[in-house]
């Protein structure tokens, strides 16, 4: 079980799932910055960051299936 869990997590790294999610969150932050304008309030900045991080917090089901399959191999 431990080997399977470790292999699954290594597969996420090999397929760069985390990096892809961070990149997507950064793009969302850039878009939010453009929408909020040059001098948004603190509350607006915090809300935009929370929304972006929440939207990209976990791996998708396809990422999980891919990590499972690669981990088994």
Query: Could you tell me the pLDDT band of residue 3, with boundaries at 50, 70 and 90?
Result: very high
Question: What is the residue-averaged pLDDT of the chain?
Answer: 82
Give the chain's length. Answer: 73
The reported pTM is 0.56
In terms of average pLDDT, the best of 15-19, 20-24, 66-70 is: 66-70
* Residue 54: pLDDT over 70: no
Query: pLDDT tens, 29-40?
Result: 777 777 777 677
Helix 2-14 crosses helix 61-72 at what angle (to 10 degrees)? 120
């Amino acid at each position: 079980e431990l080997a399977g869990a470790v292999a699954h997590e290594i597969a996420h790294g090999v397929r760069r799932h985390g990096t892809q999610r961070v990149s997507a969150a950064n793009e969302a932050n850039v878009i939010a910055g453009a929408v909020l304008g040059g001098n948004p309030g603190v509350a607006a900045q915090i809300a935009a960051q929370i929304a972006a991080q929440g939207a990209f917090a976990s791996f998708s089901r396809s990422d999980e299936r891919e990590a499972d399959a690669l981990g088994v191999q």
